[in-house]
Amino acid sequence: MKMAPSLLTLVLLVVAINPPCSAQSDNPSRLTLQLRDGWQFREAKKKEWYPAKVPGCVHADLLENKLIEDPFYRDNEQKLQWIGKTDWEYRTQFNLSTEFLQHKNIELVFEGLDTYASVFLNDAKVLSANNMFRRWEINCERDLKVGQNTLRILFRSPINEILPVLKQMKYQLPAPNDQGEKTSPYTRKAPYHYGWDWGPRLVTSGIWKPVYLQAWDQAILRDFTIRQNHVTPGEAKLTAEFLVESATDAEARITVDEVQDLLPRTEQTVRLSAGENTLLMEFSVSEPELWWPNGYGPQPLYTLRAKLLVGSDFCDQRSVRIGLRSLELRQQPDAWGKSFAFIINGVPIFAKGGNWIPADSFANRVTPERYRQLVQSCHDANMNMLRLWGGGYYEDDEFYALCDELGILVWQDFMFACSLYPGDPGFLENVKQEAIDNVRRLRNHPAIALWCGNNEVETGWVHWGWKRELPAGLWDDYLKLFHAVLPEVCTRLDPERPYWPSSPSSNLEDDPDSQKTGDVHFWGVWHAALPFKEYEQQFPRFMSEYGFQSFPDIRTVQSYTLPEDRNIQSPVMMAHQKHPRGNQLIREYMLRAYPEPKDFESFLYVSQVLQAEGIKIGAEHLRRNMPRVMGSLYWQIDDCWPVASWSSLDYFGHWKGLQYYARRFYNDLLVSPHEESNQINIYVVSDRMKATHVTLHTQLLDFAGKSVMEENSEIEVLPLKSAVYKKYDRTQMLQGKEASKLVLLSELMLDGKALSTNLLFFAPFKEMGLPKPRIENQIRQTGKNYQIQLSSDSLARAVYLSLNQGDGFFSDNYFDVLPGRSVALEFQPAGTMTLESLRQNLKIRSLVDAF
């Protein structure tokens, strides 16, 4: 790969130099002083102060000081509602030296304040904040002194702040998820804090992101971004854009290099004017190594470092990590309407993944390790896209960095969900600044594929009665926010990335839920209680939400219950089910296909099988219908607390059945047998860019393993395509046998290995009369881990391995074991575990055992 400077837009001189430029100190003259220590907090106006953690939030601090009980335990949530209706105060002290104060410019920077905050520096009020999602930068030289300084922040209750506003309103802005006074639309704060149909109402306050002082003299590099103007395998044409603030007019030098020297450096001399300067430097990389979504290729990343020098003074430096790829949201008229497909490096990508919600009610508790475990789990389940849903917060940099590394595209909503919003100039300006801060912060991540205005506001207006019941002017406010303010920021700051107004949306060209154009949320299954088969009647151009709930596993339930709570209808279990009809719906769907589970733990297990089997129907249908459909994002990936929900990863990151199923139904090669009017069509869907030669093995068996029909065919699976590779007449294939007692196995074999396996049943579980299987296991130690081999004397469905005690990860779970065929998997214990204790604690069950 080569990089060469080319044409310049604004600049006087560009030189590509290799090796390094003139000597300079390793540290820029900009200084940062983190204000992490010595924090205390108290209920406003009360006497006693307690130690606090920054970044953090008041609930976490109260818990840490043992002033409240765990909000996630039993029904504690209810008892803690006062916290959100209380004002809180935080303070710290820090010492400054004479040298530090000699700097010409000193700024106090808050990366995030939650939410209505008055900031006092040595008793001067320096900031009044009103948006959790904004970054605040305050010139504060005047207010600082040598020696001890005090920083104090008063947080007003975000609920109380809005109550007087609500009183004056002639109408109520809809906020169906607020579990109390409906104040959330007026406040720029994570909507899910106010409660959701999977989340508790825990209305936080606090300093939720880092705070620091920043000192500089001559010039500061406020921003550095790389625009990818045109990227092909032959050449990447890029523009580096710098935002420099300078104290005076001056001549400066900017150098850009790659930290590992993977790209040659470039340098240019520029004239700065006093104040803000936007500078552009165009350059190109020939034969770039391209960044790909997971499954399509590697994710090469480059860390580019920009240095700013004025004379011999090394003023500042900033780094960005980028991946080179082209990106397009292709919306082209076709036989079914208008396409909705993400094209990366010229390749149409079928988006496979789910919807991401905040991984905790208290953002600061999501450690880098937890982020990694969750995003890695998505990667390992063959996902290539997550939709960052608009009811939470713009994620931590860590999250996007992981998505860049693991090839997970991000559909990024702005933080608006299921409500209408004010449209007064103050509110719009506040949102505009929020958008500027976040687009600037995030735009260098190659993973981000789309900016999307909101979640379900367009469809809410049209389909949830808002249009009928509310003043028409609210729609004008909608248009201002989502069709003017937000797209204008995106076009100005991030012109190469597409903007989409809402999810679901038809960009006002059709009904918001139209299946001809745009994206769709389909909730006929679940909310309308329609059968899972109804998924197969849906042909959206891109399915950005569909889902079904399950319970978390018993260990997770144990974390928030006492033994007497462990029944589905108990008050504590109901407190951890936020959908009003949730448990009832799970039971109703369950009894359509299964008998009544024999006990509580079995109910939890069967709920996970039910969810996984249901979403499998939807996901495989969507994939079979590529390219008409180009995305399957199920609702939802993760949880913010331990709860019954639509997630496939529970609060502790445990894989539910759905996560294991997702790995199979999102495999790059998928065999998917499907009954279509007395015919059984064996589809193979390929997300591979090259044709693959495999053996398609099909076999009709009874539950004891006796073969009724068996065939092997050599097939060439076409790249990036869904097609039928084999057809059977149902009646002929069954040869007069009772269908409910048979199973059709389809698998793609390569070099003796099954790349994709799928079973087709002809009756719901409760009509199959499956015998109780005898499952044998053999365990072998392999270093720190164990290999477990299972076999069964008859078909064992949804075999579930778990531990009575201890923790660890099973490389596979919730799988079927056919008689006469063994299944091997790996177990990684969380700590150390002896073979003996694994043997003692391992519990193996299959569906039959649940009844």
Binding site for ligand BMA (CB under 6 A): 196-198, 418, 455-456, 521, 545, 635
The alpha carbon of residue 373 and the mean position of all alpha carbons in its chain are separated, in whole angstroms, by 12
Neighbours of 669 (CB within 10 A): 16
Q: Which residues touch 274 (CB under 8 Å, ≥6 apart)?
A: 246, 247, 248, 249
Minimum CB separation of residue 643 from ligand BMA in Å reads: 11
Residue 671: HSE in the Cβ half-sphere, 13 Å Cα cutoff:
25
> In 3D, which of 307, 320, 319 has the Cα closest to residue 29?
307
Largest distance between two CA atoms of the chain: 94
Decide whether 114 or 545 has the Cβ nearer to ligand BMA: 545
Minimum CB separation of residue 526 from ligand BMA in Å reads: 7
Report the C-alpha gap between 707 and 698 in whole angstroms: 11
* 108 close to 138: Cβ distance less than 8 angstroms: yes
Decide whether 503 or 846 has the Cβ nearer to ligand BMA: 503
Task: Provide the Cα torsion 116, 388, 557, 848; round to 10°.
Answer: 160
Report the C-alpha gap between 737 and 296 in whole angstroms: 43
Minimum CB separation of residue 385 from ligand BMA in Å reads: 16
Over its C-alpha atoms, the chain yields an Rg (Å, rounded) of: 29
Decide whether 417 or 612 has the Cβ nearer to ligand BMA: 417
Minimum CB separation of residue 763 from ligand BMA in Å reads: 30
Minimum CB separation of residue 634 from ligand BMA in Å reads: 11
Minimum CB separation of residue 523 from ligand BMA in Å reads: 6
The pair phi, psi for residue 653, each rounded to 5°, is 85, 5
Decide whether 254 or 388 has the Cβ nearer to ligand BMA: 388
Decide whether 207 or 418 has the Cβ nearer to ligand BMA: 418
**Helix, strand and coil in the chain, % to nearest 5:** 25, 35, 40
Decide whether 240 or 649 has the Cβ nearer to ligand BMA: 649
Q: Which two tokens stand for residue 331?
A: 């919306």
Decide whether 85 or 587 has the Cβ nearer to ligand BMA: 587
Decide whether 455 or 672 has the Cβ nearer to ligand BMA: 455
* 73 close to 185: Cβ distance less than 8 angstroms: no
Report the C-alpha gap between 528 and 525 in whole angstroms: 6
Minimum CB separation of residue 635 from ligand BMA in Å reads: 5
Task: Provide the Cα torsion 62, 64, 66, 70; round to 10°.
Answer: 80
Report the C-alpha gap between 667 and 303 in whole angstroms: 31
Report the C-alpha gap between 659 and 383 in whole angstroms: 10
Report the C-alpha gap between 622 and 537 in whole angstroms: 10
Minimum CB separation of residue 447 from ligand BMA in Å reads: 21
Report the C-alpha gap between 300 and 322 in whole angstroms: 9
The pair phi, psi for residue 765, each rounded to 5°, is -50, -45
Decide whether 386 or 418 has the Cβ nearer to ligand BMA: 418
Minimum CB separation of residue 661 from ligand BMA in Å reads: 19
Report the C-alpha gap between 415 and 112 in whole angstroms: 15
Decide whether 264 or 390 has the Cβ nearer to ligand BMA: 390
Decide whether 521 or 797 has the Cβ nearer to ligand BMA: 521
Minimum CB separation of residue 589 from ligand BMA in Å reads: 15
Q: Which residues touch 219 (CB under 8 Å, ≥6 apart)?
A: 244, 245, 246, 247, 250, 252, 272, 308, 310, 315, 316
- The string of DSSP letters for 160-202 reads HHHHHHHHH-SS----TT-SSS--GGGSBS-GGGEEETTEEE-
Minimum CB separation of residue 76 from ligand BMA in Å reads: 22
Residue 359: HSE in the Cβ half-sphere, 13 Å Cα cutoff:
23
Minimum CB separation of residue 521 from ligand BMA in Å reads: 5
Decide whether 356 or 594 has the Cβ nearer to ligand BMA: 356
Decide whether 355 or 792 has the Cβ nearer to ligand BMA: 355
Minimum CB separation of residue 84 from ligand BMA in Å reads: 20
